[in-house]
C-alpha cells in the first residue's frame, strides 16, 4: 500500500507504536476491550509510572490527551514541549535525546516533524515509544481513536459505508484511518476537490470518488470530514467545491449517521450542528482518551 519497510511492521506494537500497519484485528479488539474497561471506574494501574511527552512540534490537544490518559491511570507525565533544537538540546541528535530521556521515563510519547523520527527513536530506545504524529507520516493513535469512535457509536464496523470528505491527498489522519478500515468489511466513499483526491494506493475496487457530498450522503453511515487547507490549492484554479457541511445536508442524512472530525475545525462544520445527536466529534475526543489509556496500560502496565 505504501513504502513501509517490512522491518517497521516487525516491531511489536507493545514495544513501539509506529504505524497502524502493526495492528492486527485481534490486537485492535484487545485494545478496544481494554479501553471499554478503563472508561468505567477509576483504577490507577500506572501509579508510580512516568512517561515523557516529547513534542518537537506543538500539539496541545494530542499532548493533553496523553497527559490526561496517564494521570487518570495514576501516573505522571514529564512535559517537554516545543523542543528548540539549538538551545534546549544543544545540538544533540534525536537518538541521544531519546537515550537520555528514557532513563527518566517508562515510555516516551514522541511528536516530531521528521517522517522517520519514531522509527529512529524506537531503534535505540529500551522503553516503549509511541508515535504522536511524525511529519507527513502517520498519527496512529488518532486513527485508532477514530476507529474506536465508529465502533462505539455504530455498534460495529463491518457493513458500514464510510464517507471521507475534505483534503484526502495530504491528510495523514485520513490515510491512517483508511488503512485501519481495510481490515473490516466497509465501503468507502471519497469526496474531495479534484486537486485533493486520495492517492491511488488508498483506493480499493469497491470504493468510489466524488466531488459532491450529495452523491453519497443518503447511503453514508459515517461521515468523516477533514480540513482543506487553502494553501494546498493553487491560486489560479477556481474551486467551486464546498467541503463544509450544512444543516440542510444533515436534514438529508440518515438518522443514524454519525458526523466525525479530527478537530480543530475551521469552518467545515458550523457550531449550530453541535447539538445534533449525530455530531460525534466531541465524543470522539473522549474516546481518544480511553484509547490512549488502553495503549499506555497495554504497553507499560506490566512490570
Question: Hey, which residues are catalytic here?
Answer: 61-62, 90, 111, 139
Scanning 11-19, 42-50, 202-210, 249-257 for contacts with a second copy by CB under 8 A, the matching segment is 42-50
Binding mask 84-123 for a second copy (x = CB under 8 A): x--xxxxxxx-xxx-xxx-xxx------------------
Q: Does 282 bind a second copy (CB under 8 A)?
A: yes
Q: Does 48 bind a second copy (CB under 8 A)?
A: yes
Instruction: Kindly identify the residues of this chain, within the stretch 72-91, that bind a second copy according to CB under 8 A.
Output: 72, 74, 76, 78-80, 83-84, 87-91
Rounded Cα gap, residues 278 and 257, in angstroms: 6
Kindly tell me which of 43 and 214 has the beta carbon lying closer to a second copy. Answer: 43
Kindly tell me which of 103 and 237 has the beta carbon lying closer to a second copy. Answer: 103
Nine cell digits for residue 102: 528514557
Q: Does 206 bind a second copy (CB under 8 A)?
A: no
Rounded Cα gap, residues 113 and 12, in angstroms: 23
Scanning 55-63, 146-154, 181-189, 198-206 for contacts with a second copy by CB under 8 A, the matching segment is 55-63
H/E stretch holding 162 reads strand 161-165
Kindly tell me which of 77 and 186 has the beta carbon lying closer to a second copy. Answer: 77
Nine cell digits for residue 20: 497502524
Residue 278 makes CB contacts below 8 A (sequence gap 6+) with 250, 253, 255, 256, 257, 258, 259
With helix as H, strand as E and coil as C, how does 119-133 read?
HHHHHHCCCCEEEEE
Q: Does 155 bind a second copy (CB under 8 A)?
A: no
CB 183 to a second copy: min, Å? 27
Give all strands of the β-sheet with 129-134 in edge-to-edge order.
16-17, 129-134, 107-112, 50-55, 76-80
Rounded Cα gap, residues 188 and 83, in angstroms: 39
Q: Which residue has the cell 474531495?
A: 192
User: Using CB under 8 A as the criterion, which residues of the chain lie in contact with a second copy when the complex forms?
Assistant: 42, 44, 47-48, 50, 52, 58-61, 64-65, 67-68, 71-72, 74, 76, 78-80, 83-84, 87-93, 95-97, 99-101, 103-105, 263-266, 271, 274, 282, 285-286, 288-289
Amino acid at each position: 500500500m505504501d513504502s513501509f519497510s517490512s522491518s517497521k511492521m516487525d516491531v511489536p506494537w507493545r514495544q513501539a507504536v509506529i504505524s497502524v500497519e502493526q495492528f492486527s484485528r485481534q490486537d485492535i479488539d484487545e485494545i478496544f476491550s481494554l479501553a471499554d474497561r478503563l472508561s468505567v471506574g477509576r483504577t490507577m494501574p500506572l501509579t508510580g509510572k512516568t512517561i515523557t511527552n516529547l513534542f518537537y512540534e506543538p500539539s496541545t490537544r494530542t499532548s493533553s490527551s496523553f497527559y490526561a490518559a496517564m494521570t487518570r491511570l495514576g501516573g505522571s507525565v514529564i512535559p517537554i514541549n516545543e523542543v528548540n533544537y539549538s538551545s534546549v538540546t544543544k545540538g544533540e541528535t534525536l537518538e541521544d535525546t531519546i537515550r537520555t530521556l528514557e532513563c527518566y521515563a517508562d515510555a516516551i510519547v514522541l511528536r516530531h516533524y521528521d517522517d522517520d523520527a519514531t522509527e529512529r527513536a524506537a531503534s535505540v530506545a529500551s522503553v516503549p515509544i509511541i508515535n504522536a504524529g511524525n511529519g507527513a507520516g502517520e498519527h496512529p493513535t488518532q486513527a485508532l481513536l477514530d476507529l474506536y469512535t465508529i465502533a462505539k457509536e455504530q455498534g460495529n464496523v463491518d457493513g458500514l459505508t464510510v464517507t471521507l470528505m475534505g483534503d484526502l491527498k495530504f491528510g495523514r489522519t485520513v490515510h491512517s484511518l483508511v488503512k485501519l478500515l481495510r481490515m473490516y468489511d466497509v465501503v468507502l466513499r471519497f469526496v474531495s476537490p479534484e486537486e485533493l483526491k486520495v492517492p491511488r494506493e488508498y483506493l480499493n475496487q469497491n470504493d468510489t470518488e466524488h466531488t459532491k457530498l450529495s452523491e453519497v450522503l443518503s447511503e453514508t453511515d459515517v461521515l468523516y470530514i477533514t480540513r482543506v487547507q487553502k494553501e494546498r490549492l493553487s491560486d489560479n484554479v477556481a474551486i467551486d467545491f464546498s467541503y463544509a457541511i450544512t444543516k440542510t445536508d444533515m436534514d438529508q442524512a440518515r438518522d443514524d449517521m454519525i458526523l466525525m472530525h479530527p478537530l480543530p475545525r475551521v469552518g467545515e462544520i458550523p457550531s449550530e450542528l453541535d447539538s445534533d445527536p449525530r455530531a460525534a466529534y466531541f465524543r470522539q475526543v473522549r474516546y481518544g482518551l480511553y484509547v490512549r489509556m488502553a495503549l499506555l496500560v497495554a504497553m507499560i502496565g506490566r512490570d
